[in-house]
Amino acid sequence: MPLFHTRLTHTLKVQQLSRRMAEHLKRDPSNKSVIKSLGGLDVGAAESAGLAHDLGHPPFGHVGETALNERCYKAGLDGFEGNAQTFRILATLSRRGENTPFGLDLSDATLRAVIKYPWLRGEAGDASLKKWNAYGTEREAFLRARGGLPDGARSAEAAIMDWADDITYAIHDLEDFIRAGRVPMVALATVELEREAFTTRAVSRLRKKYKDTDWDTAVKRFGDVLTLEFAQFNIHNGTADDLARLRSVCSRLINSYVSAIRLVEGPEPIEIPPLVRAEVELFKQLTWHYVIHDPALATLQEGQAELLRCLFDRLTKWLDDAIAAKEEFRLPKRLYDLWMVTETEPGRSEFGVNEHVRRARAVADYIASLTETQAIDLYERLTGTGAHSVLDPWLAY
């Protein structure tokens, strides 16, 4: 087990949970008629969606997503969104082989399974201005993958993947901060003032989204779980016994959330009991309350957002200037390749006649493909800071 979870270990756990839940639901004979009415339940598609669900996340996660969305929208695009970028990678940017110029040639069931938000930007009111699942350039592939599903409805596989992602974020990813002593689980379980301060703030955030939830009951239930699982937990010693106990607690919680769901007919094919959903959401809020809203992290995030804005502006100008001067050979090879994709991709008509719009999409695609270390390295190169070698290999592709 790694000291801390990474994007890769998070992805692998979402993959495993997605497959586990899909198999669990498919084995249950009481689901036979519902599965038939849904057109089947593809375990492989659910698992593949778990593997693919975070491919579109740019450097620095949601901070980077917001920065790129602002820049892309300002440039005349329909913005940037991590789920839409995932769909673009699968349907357009990646190549299965030399005879497949665009996309991985995945089945419609697999593409449908990665669609958490079944609309394009602006198609579902204000909600779709923050979350959507395909750019206009992938409209045709998006509609084909949706394959007759009612407007606003998700596939069962997509709903399973989404719940697996929530569970993983709420429990597996939280483990890191518990082990690092950033989330005071013992105090939350034993000190009423600590728990009340957290739940009051958390519920104020969640109440807008889950208006029909009985939050008084949910908070009491959450407190009972904390007391049962963490009141006697000696979390900060970091011994092998402590870590084993933590893994056992996490396993029990995950098992309860996996077994709580059931398949139903309708636009939302996975039914999650409201109090179970609320419990998972409260666990997710622990990370927000104790880590993400910490000023120490906020200062880093401000710098990360500024770094990506600078990268976007400088790369866009460089691409413009290189094309005008016929010096495309000086550009990072991957950036040039992505620019060429926008020239021939099936949805290129979405760019209109404005070449700057196409270049902005290519730059966003390029930045989104970087690791955080690569983004920092590239920023330092473009701003003349830091010490770098011309032999660093990653810029060669």
- What angle, 0 to 180 degrees and rounded to 10, lies between the N-to-C axes of helices 7-27 and 156-167? 130
Q: Is 392 among the domain residues?
A: yes
Average pLDDT, the chain: 92
87 with 80: CB under 8 angstroms?
no
Q: Which of 264, 273, 272, 266 shows the shortest CA–CA distance to 34?
A: 264
> Which of 47-61, 183-197, 309-323, 379-393 is the least confident region?
379-393
Q: Is 101 in the same domain as 191?
A: no
Q: Is 155 among the domain residues?
A: no
Q: Which of 71, 58, 61 shows the shortest CA–CA distance to 309?
A: 71
Q: Is 278 in the same domain as 345?
A: no
Q: Is 125 in the same domain as 13?
A: yes
DSSP summary character for residue 262: E
Identify the band that residue 27 occupies on the pLDDT scale cut at 50, 70 and 90. Answer: very high
pLDDT in tens, 114-172: 999 999 998 877 767 789 999 999 999 999 999 889 988 999 999 999 999 999 999 98
Q: Does the structure show a pLDDT above 80 at 397? A: no
Q: Is 157 among the domain residues?
A: no
Tell which wins on pLDDT, 246 or 202.
202
Domain boundary among 267, 293, 319: 293
Q: What residue has token string 């519920």?
A: 203
pTM above 0.85?
A: yes
Q: Is 298 among the domain residues?
A: no
Q: Does the structure show a pLDDT above 50 at 2? A: no
pLDDT in tens, 64-105: 999 999 999 999 999 999 999 999 999 999 999 888 899 999
Q: What residue has token string 């010096």?
A: 327
Q: Is 141 in the same domain as 249?
A: no
Question: Total domain count for the chain?
Answer: 3
Q: Is 280 in the same domain as 311?
A: no
Q: Is 139 in the same domain as 202?
A: no
**C-alpha 26: how far from chain center:** 26
Domain boundary among 233, 267, 293: 293
Q: Is 339 among the domain residues?
A: yes
Query: What pLDDT is recorded for position 1?
Result: 46
Q: Does the structure show a pLDDT above 60 at 47? A: yes
Q: Is 70 in the same domain as 128?
A: yes
Q: Is 58 in the same domain as 108?
A: yes
Q: Is 115 among the domain residues?
A: yes
Q: Is 333 among the domain residues?
A: yes
Q: Is 211 among the domain residues?
A: yes
Domain coverage including residue 354: 303-396
Write the CATH number for 111: 1.10.3210.10
Q: Is 14 in the same domain as 131?
A: yes
Q: Is 89 in the same domain as 197?
A: no
Domain boundary among 118, 146, 174: 146
Q: Is 172 in the same domain as 193?
A: yes
